[in-house]
Amino acid sequence: MKSTLLIFPGSNCDKELQTAITDIGSIVTRVWHKETDLPSDTDVVFIPGGFSYGDYLRPGAIAANSRILRSVKAFSDKGGYIVGICNGFQILLESGLLPGALMRNVNQKFICKNEFIKVSNTDSIFTKNFSSGEIINFPIAHNDGNYFCSDDDAKSLMDSNRIPFLYENNDNGSKASIAGVLSKNKRVLGLMPHPERASFQEQGGVDGKRFFNSMLENI
C-alpha cells in the first residue's frame, strides 16, 4: 500500500501518522501542499490533523482550495482512496469530497480525551477488520468536531451505510453522533478521532493499528 501524506502549513499530526502507517508496512511519501501532482503510484492519500492555515476563516477552508487538492479530487474521481483525520476531515468537507460541515463543539470547549467509538458498519476497507457494533477506543482532540449536515444528507448517509463511526458519548454535539463519514463509493473516509494515536501499546491502545491494517489487508 503506497501512502501519500499531504502536509499543509499548520498540519501537526503528520509525523505520528507517518510512524503508524510505516509501522504496518506501508511506504509513505510526504507531499507539500504546493506540489501540483500526487505520486503516480499512490494507493491512498492521507490528510493529517492539525491546524492548517491556523484554522483561519474556517478550519480546513483554505487548505480545501489549495493546488494539491485539485489532484486529490481527480484521484478520487478515478476511485482513489483518501483518509482525512480531524483537520483532514474538515478539509475533505470543505472541498466537497464529503457531505456536511464541522462546527464549533456545542459545549464551547476543546475536547481532548480517549473516546469510545462504535463501529457502525464494516462495509469499507477501513472497517472490514472490525465487527459491526464493536466499541473501540480512539483519542479525540478538537475544538470544531460538531458534525452537521442537511436532513436529506443525513438520510442518504444512513440509507447507504456511509456512517462507519459513531460517538458513544456525543460531547461535541454532532448530528446523530456521527464521528466519521464515507463518500458514495466508500473510498473516501473522514473521521474526527485519531487512529494514529492508538497504534502502539505505549499510546494506550492499538485499535488504530487495527484500522490501518484493515486498510492494508483489504485495499
Partner 1 sequence: MKIKLAVTLKKNILDPQGDAVKVALKQMNFKALSSVRQGKLIELDLDISDRKVAHDLVEKMARELLVNEVMETYEILMD
Our finding on whether 144 is near partner 1 (CB under 8 A) is no
Number of Cβ atoms within 10 Å of the Cβ of 34: 11
| Cα(129)–Cα(205) distance, integer angstroms | 16
Our finding on whether 148 is near partner 1 (CB under 8 A) is yes
Catalytic residue selected from 86, 115, 142, 149? 86
In the complex, least distance from residue 37 CB atom to partner 1, rounded to whole angstroms: 23
Q: Which of 28, 103, 206, 216 binds partner 1 (CB under 8 A)?
A: 103
Catalytic-residue membership of 13:
no
Segment interacting with partner 1, rule: CB under 8 A, options 80-88, 132-140, 147-155, 197-205: 147-155
| Amino acid letter, residue 44 | V
In the complex, least distance from residue 171 CB atom to partner 1, rounded to whole angstroms: 13
| Cα(5)–Cα(42) distance, integer angstroms | 10
| Amino acid letter, residue 148 | F
Catalytic-residue membership of 168:
no
Starting at the edge strand that comes first in sequence, how are the strands of the sheet with 111-119 ordered?
27-32, 2-7, 44-47, 81-85, 188-191, 178-182, 165-167, 111-119, 135-142
Which residue pairs, CB below 8 angstroms and at least 24 apart, start in 159-162?
Answer: 160/184, 161/121, 161/123, 162/186
| Cα(199)–Cα(31) distance, integer angstroms | 23
Q: Which is nearer to partner 1, 27 or 57 (CB)?
A: 57
Residues 31-90 touching partner 1, rule: CB under 8 A, are: 57-58, 61-62, 65
Q: Which is nearer to partner 1, 101 or 111 (CB)?
A: 101
Which residue ranges make up the site for partner 1 (CB under 8 A)? Answer: 57-58, 61-62, 65, 93-94, 100-101, 103-104, 106-108, 148-150, 173
* Residues known to be catalytic: 86, 194, 196
